[in-house]
Structure 1
Amino acid sequence: MAQRELLQGGCLCGAIRYQVNGLPFDADHCHCSQCRKSAGAVMMSWMDFYYEQVQWLQGQVTEFASSKDIRRGFCQHCGCSLTYRHLDYPQYITLSIASLDLPQKVQPTYHIHTDEQVSWLNIDDNCPRYKAGKTLTKSSN
């Protein structure tokens, strides 16, 4: 993906704003139950960046430990789900595609945790589907 794009986004109430230098190195639709519950939606669409690409312009994310190694970030004012961090990969941060001002700029390329996808959701795209997570190595990008 090209790396010269400048993306901006934030939470629903505007208390948190960010910008990202470049497009994500990965993007997916997650169907896991934790993403569904944290977002209040039947799936969550995420985009992955290196930490140095992200600049927080206003406010700060409040994090919740949804499991031993996972931190989910949200706005403490409006509750908007914004970030996902895996402690084993400190060089990466995952942001909600829906939090972008122009979410059409980033299109997910695969689905994960499809074994947990709600039965009535029918998605007709050509993206690969993984029953669980997609395997990463710490040196992957």
Structure 2
Amino acid sequence: MTQAAKPLLTGGCQCGAIRFALTAAPIRITICHCRMCQKATGAPFASLAEVARENFAWTHGKPAAFRSSSIAERDFCKACGTPLSYRQDDGTSIEIMTGAFDRPDRVVPTVQLGAESRLGWVGAIANMPSKTTQQIYGAEKLASVFSYQQPDHD
């Protein structure tokens, strides 16, 4: 990413030690159900935005990396543990976890991968009963909570 390019999308880890920016829209945005993504995120699936490496930069801090396979590494914040990316060794792109974006609503998945490992209950999520955070804790308790999480901006 060139210094003169204006960021289109930004994001970072939970504690703010790592920040990143994109200067172009992602190539594709996926949900991956493969077992490796499940383990890497501690979740039933990963949601990833694939970005050409020339349109991506770490703008604050550098992530730690874990070699998750013989062909790829996964980046994460060594301070707070936030999973950040997936990179194939010979690839021209990097895949960024969509939850790490400041505006995850702007990176909407359009395809699912690793369907052989998709958990059977995932398709029913939208129909499950749901509550807001305020409904769970109540307004008074929620007002007393102080988040140590980095705000969704630089």
Task: Output the TM-score relative to the length of structure 2.
Answer: 0.74
Structure number, greater radius of gyration: 2
CA RMSD of aligned residues (A): 1.7
SS for the counterpart of 1:37 is helix
| Residue in 2 that maps onto 1:13 | 15
Stretches of structure 2 lacking an aligned partner (at least 5 in a row): 1-5, 127-154
Higher fraction of strand: 1
Task: Report the 3-state secondary structure (helix = DSSP H, G, I; strand = E; otherwise coil) of the residue aligned with 1:38.
Answer: helix
AA aligned to 1:79 is G
Kept in 2: contact 1:16–1:59 (CA 8 A): yes
Greater fraction of residues in helix: 2
| Conservation of the 8 A alpha-carbon contact between 1:23 and 1:106 | no
Unaligned runs of 5+ in 1: 126-141
Runs of 4+ in 1 over 6 A off after TM superposition: none
Matched residue SS, 2:122: coil
Per-residue deviation, 1:5: 6.8
Instruction: Sort the Cα spacing of 1:123 and 1:30 in 2 relative to 1 into closer, same or farther, 3 A.
Output: farther
Q: Deviations over 1:9-46 (max 9, x none)?
A: 00011100011112101110000111111111110000
Alignment partner, residue 45 of structure 1: 47
- What is the rounded CA distance, in whole Å, between the counterparts of 1:121 and 1:106 in structure 2? 20
Corresponding residue pairs, total: 121
3-state SS, counterpart of residue 122 of structure 1:
helix
